[in-house]
Every structure is written in structure tokens, then in C-alpha cells.
Amino acid sequence: MSDLSSPVETSDFAFPLKGVRVLDLADGKGELCGRLLADLGADVIMIEPPQGMAARTQQPLVDGISLHFASHAANKRSVALDLNTAEGKDNFLKLVDGADILVETFRPGTLDRLGLGVSSLHQRNPRLVVLSMTDFGQSGPYRDFVASEAVINAMAGTLCRSGFPGTSRPPLLPPGRLAYETSAIQASWALLLSYWQSLHIGVGDHLDFSVFEGTAQILDPILGVTGSAAGGKSAMQMAEERGRPNAGMLYPIFRCKDGFVRMCILNPRQWQGMSDWLGPDHPFTDPAYGNLVKRFQVIGDIIKLIGDLCANYTKVELVTEGQRRGVPIAGLATPQEVLADEHFNARGAFTSLAVDGKTGKVPAGFLEIDGVRAGIRGPAPAIGQHTAEVLAQCPAAKTSATPYTTGSKRRPLEGIRVLDLGVIVAGAELGRILCDAGAEVIKVENKAFPDGGRQSGEKHRVSFSFAQGHRGKEGLGLNLRSPQGVELFKQLAAKSDLILSNFKPGTMESLGVGYDVISKINPGIIMAESSALGHTGPLSRSMGYGPLVRASSGLTGLWSYPELEGQFFDGLTIAPDHFAARVSAIGIIALLVRRRATGKGGTVHVSQAETILGALTTELLRESLFPGSLKPKGNHGEYDAPDGIFPCAGDDDWCAVSVRDNRDWRALCETIGREDLLADPDLQSAAGRLARRGELEQALGAWTSTRSPELVMETLQAAGVPAGKMFRLSEFDDNQHLRQRNFFRTIHQTGHDEIWPTENGPVVCHNMPDPDIRPAPMQGEHTRVVVKRVLDLADDRVETLIAEGILEESA
């Protein structure tokens, strides 16, 4: 069993979820939900059968020990119960009586068949929040489908945008288990939001969470806010009908003496720094090339010039010089470089974990609360290690004044006021999801420093993308570069609950509105900051964009076909912005829970790079134990075969198919009419199948290539084999599963005639209403309304402040 070395000192830390009890029945997916709650101080009790949960044998293994389990079960306790026996059910229900949250990942209908359905659990404990996390949800046409990482990525819209441009090669699966891991982050956000709601309405909820839908919202969202280079378009608007888009020019990668670097040259100031670096006599010194659109007209020639320059230097030399000149740049880190990285290690991003006598390094945790990392503190438990003590100390049953009811109209964050200084993607998303949950979100902007998300060329400066990230917010124009503006901000902060920002670390302090100042005015204030590389450490003040974060965290280097050395294909993904925003939101809700009990606010700090490390926890732990094991895998599953992407009849039509075990292998062979393979004794084990992977992939490909992807998916799913069509983004609007589960909503943005599609909330549930979808604000659109409502400023005072440029309003 694993044990922990060098635990983080947290003896004086006020864990925000201390006292919250969680029953964790996640097995094979969603284990990260419980880990995140445990990291924040909740008492997370795994309920597993006497022989142990299946996740204990989940690959990769070290001498029979699962590295996934060792890292994802850290900080938890284990109770062994046989839920098929009367005694096991009785003990389980005693634990339910005193629990706040229950997480389960059984197939739909399993709890009912055990006599432990959610309705019966709510009869015993009306306050219980139950999260049912399944591949496709508890309802809809795909309800009984089974999935794998490849299947989820194919169906959720990630695959169709990933890979070599055009159709000459298959699309490319993202590395690791990003779909399942980031969906668990989304599920954790929904779970804590529901728990917060239960504290106010007196009853819990049943959250029907779909990994398919979670991935479509959080990894590479089909409708979410996009980065600056997208020109205000959503992913759905940018997608190619056939083949993968050529994204290499968006955030170009250059070979250097010892590897590769990536640059994100977006605004005129950054281009001027690059132009000066290239010297005074290149053909593009005209300041007009500061315009991104004009520069893209000659981007091939410009990239050649920069490539010639980079070839003469090392990664460190280029990054150092780029920082000096104001050119956003990062080296493409290898996994070993990530593990040894001075900045990450200075920040305590990794901790030691001993697995069967071998000591490895593992990402320590996703976020910091009050400057302390909320992360791994204790080892994964042995089977049933805590059964006796937990059953002997069953807490009193949770009481409720009313029986379980559904249909609450209260929005979870009603009464919470947010001052939102967040920009671009991660900042926009955090404020947006809080707004969706009912918070009063005031977007604070200054005309001299507009949100880069507004730079789209769309009329009224509200593009499709900007509307997705700022819907429902109010726009306040305020000049924080003036003393009067700072004073007004302090007055607003005194009457607010949350302040959000994702500027370069130190910016809020330099403006005079850091936590040390604001908390003296309002001790209950919660301030959440995110940045590319974190608020401490030698590189904390580096310029950060998502593509640079992916490069420095090692994700870019892994997002590649193994046979194409030096080519990388993460240019279109928006990761990690959307799931990093959810990590911040998780910390915020945890602090709201603590504040409700103590009145004390606090801080949430998130390093976007470290959220990627967290999503690659298992892979990085393995790499630390076995250097060289973490490398591009392409479309080949590592632990059984066949498992990957297969051609179907049609033009650029593909289907993901995964064999997970011998049962899947038998069903696959019988379905495709290859009983000869089933009878082959060398193919009766995963090891035997992997040894002949090429042959098996060819055999399956011959069958899939004569059938449509829909037919392949439906035929194999009917046999219980994970299979999923590669859906194009243009197909999502008509997807009946998503339609039946109310995945889509619409938004009518002021200044635009058309009605735009937008996404709904994060989960299907009973007691959290759907978001109130309202337009995104123009800059300063609600200035007068906000200062009148919040500060009760007289009209003549408002007029004076506007005339002096302290307050701003839309034209």
C-alpha cells in the first residue's frame, strides 16, 4: 500500500470543509471528486466491497498497486461493506444517516436493484446531496452506453478538432485521461454548489452528472468563451466540416538548440518587442504589423524569420530574452523537466509518495487556500482500514425540518455579490459560472485596459465568444488607476462577498486593493486569484496564456502523434482555462462554507499550469518512478487492444472503440464475426492482445470501414463494447441525447439580431434552477445602476465622477 513522505504542514490550517462527511462510492471514474473534497478538509469515507474496489487494480500498476488509486484515494478513509448482504446494507444506511454528500458511479439503476435507491436514501436523510456520475447520465438515448477515454473524447467534440490538418491522418486523441479527470472537476463544482444550496433550503438533491456532457463543457467546450486568437468566434463557429483545422500559426512552435519554444504574440506591444528582437532591417518593421490581422497575411514569412532566430539559442536563453523584451514565450517542457522544474518545486507543486517501497513524486494538490496548498496529506488506505472506527463513531443522523422535496426556485448563490475583474477565458468563465448560480456579478472594467476578450471587431464589442463568458453580468466602468477609483472600489468591496481576478501576480497589490487591504475593510471578503504559473515562485510574474501554460506543464509535448517528431497539435484546445476556473470556484464555495460558520473570509490562489499537472497526476507519478514512461501515445490504448480510433465508411468519418477486458474482447469478436480470433489462445489476455495490436487493429478497421460511424457505435454498444462516433461540432445541435437532457439554451445578445445557442448548467438536478440567461454587458453599461444600488451615490455625484473619468459608461 502507498504511504506518504514529507507531508505538508497543515496543523494550524483552517480546513474550509472540516466537518463535512462524504460517502465515496466512486470506482473507475470520479475518484478525483472525493480527493478534491478531502484535500479541502472533508471526511471522505470510501465504501468498498470486502475484496476492495476495482480501482485498486486500475492500470498502471507497480507490483500490483494502482498508481491511480494511490494518488486519488489519498486523504480518504476506507470502510469495507458488502452491500449485497443485510448487515452491509444496514451499516451503510447508518452511515447515510450522518452523511452530507454521497458520490456514486454505478451503472444507472444499480442502487435501485440493491434496494438503496436515491429516493430511499432521501427518506432517511433529506439533507443528503447525492452525485450520480455516469458516462452518459441517468436518462436519454445513450443512458445505457458504456464508454472509455477515447469514446468520450470522440463523442464530446474534442477529437474532431485535434490532430494533423486536413484528412490525411486520423484525428488525434488528447493525452492522459483528461476527459474523466476534468469532468470530475466539473462534477465537484456542481456537488459543492448543491451542498451550499442544501445548507439554505434544508434538503439535499440528486445530481445526475454525465461525463459526456461534462467533457463537452469543460475540456474543449463547443460553445464556451474562446481565446483572443479566435476573433470572437466559438469553437462551433471555427470548426471545419471535414478534417482538422490548421492551428499551427495561432501559437507557433519553434525548434531551438535543445528542444522547442512556443510564442503567443497577440497585441501590438508584444509584436513590437518581437520586431525589435529580429533587428532593424527585417521587412516587417512597419508599426502597421502590430495589427494581428495584417500580420497574419504574411505570417509564413514572419514565422520563418523567428524560426531562424530561435535556432541559435537554448530554451532558457529564449525564454529569458523573451521575458526581457515583453514577448510571451515558454519552453516545451518534457515530463522529466516538469518534475525537476525549479519553479514548480519552489512552489511545492509536487510532494513525495512512496508506493511499495519506491518513492515517486506526485502533484500535491490543485489550489491554495489562505496561502496553504490544499493537497495530499495522508496515504491511500488499506481495504477496510477504518471500518471499525467509522462504524463505532457514526455521527448523529442529519435532521431536517421537512421531508425531501424537489423544485426549489432559490438560486444557490442568491445574495452573493461579486466584483469581477477577470479577463479573457479563465477569468470570464469563473465569473460566468458564479453568475449562472445566481450571484450578482459586477464586471469591473476600464476603457484604457479593456478585457482582451472584447477585441473581436464585432459591433458593440460583444462577440459570440464574449457573450458566452459574460452572460448575465453587469458592466461597471471604473478607473482603478486613479485614487478616487480605488476608493470607490474599496467602498464596493466593503459591501461585497467575492473579488475575482486573473492578472499577473502582484497587480491587485500594486493597485492598492490586495487582500491585506480589503480584508481590513471587510473581514468576510473572499478573494480568488488565478494566474499562469501561480502567485509565488521564481516565474510567478511571467506573462501567461493558455498555450504557454500547456507548453510549460508538458501537455503540449504529449499532444502529438508518436511517429511525427517535432509536431504538436494542441493549438486549438482552450485547456486549461475552463477547468481551472472550476478549480477556483470549488475553492470559493469551500470558503463560503467556512465563512458561514466563522464569519472569516480568505483567499483562493490557482496556478493554471498546476491544474494541468493535477489532471495528469497518475501519469506524472508513473514518470517519476519510471522515467521515459510518459510520452506521446497517439491513438493506441496502452493496456488492452484493440483500443483507439478506427475508420468508418464516409469522408473523414471515425469511431472510437475500446476493449477493456476479456468480456469486451469476446463481445467484440462475436459482433464482428471473428470467432477465429476469439479461439486463438494467444489472444485470451490483454498482454497477448497487445503483442498483436497491429493485427487486431487491422481486423477491426476492416469491419468498421464498411459501416457508418453511427452503425458501428450502435452495433457495438448493443453488445456492451465501448464505441463512440466522432461527432463534428455541427452535429451537436441535433443530438437527441443532449436535447432530451436540456444541454442547450439560447441567448439573445443586445445589438445582434440572431438568437445564439449557449450551454445550460453543469448538471441535471432537482433543487438548483437552470441559469437565468441574460445578455453580456457592454463596457460600463450598468455603471449608473450599480453605484446607485450598491453605494447609494447621488445623481450629481455620479455625473461628476463620470465627467472626471473616474466612472465610465458605455457610449
Mean pLDDT by 10 residues, the chain (811 residues): 40 86 97 98 98 97 96 98 97 96 97 97 96 98 98 97 94 98 98 98 98 96 84 77 84 97 93 97 95 91 97 96 95 98 97 91 98 96 97 79 92 98 96 98 94 71 91 98 97 98 96 98 98 95 90 98 95 94 98 97 98 98 97 96 98 97 98 97 98 98 98 98 96 96 96 94 98 96 98 97 96 75
Task: From 632, 634, 570, select the one nearest 253 (Cα to Cα).
Answer: 570
- Beta-bridge mates of residue 373: 368
Cell of 799: 455625473
**CB of 408 within 8 A of CB of 197?**
yes
DSSP 287: G
Handedness of CA 381, 386, 387, 388 (dihedral sign): positive
pLDDT of residue 3: 41
pLDDT of residue 104: 98
Domain annotation for the chain: domains and CATH numbers: 265-327 (no CATH), 417-541+569-613+772-808 (3.40.50.10540), 643-725 (3.30.1540.10)
Whole-angstrom Cα distance, residue 380 to residue 74? 4
Residues annotated as catalytic (active site), given as ranges: 577
Task: From 500, 467, 442, 480, select the one nearest 787 (Cα to Cα).
Answer: 442
Whole-angstrom Cα distance, residue 33 to residue 366? 12
CA dist 235 to 216, 255, 293, 385, 468, Å?
Answer: 11, 28, 19, 47, 11
Cell of 99: 452523511
Determine the 3-state secondary structure of 91 from DSSP. Answer: helix
Long-range pairs for 385-391 at CB < 8 Å and ≥24 separation?
A: 385/77, 385/78, 386/45, 386/77, 386/78, 386/79, 387/78, 387/79, 387/80, 387/81, 390/45, 390/77, 390/79, 390/95, 391/79, 391/91, 391/94, 391/95
pLDDT of residue 2: 38
Residue 625 backbone phi and psi in degrees, to 5: -85, -35
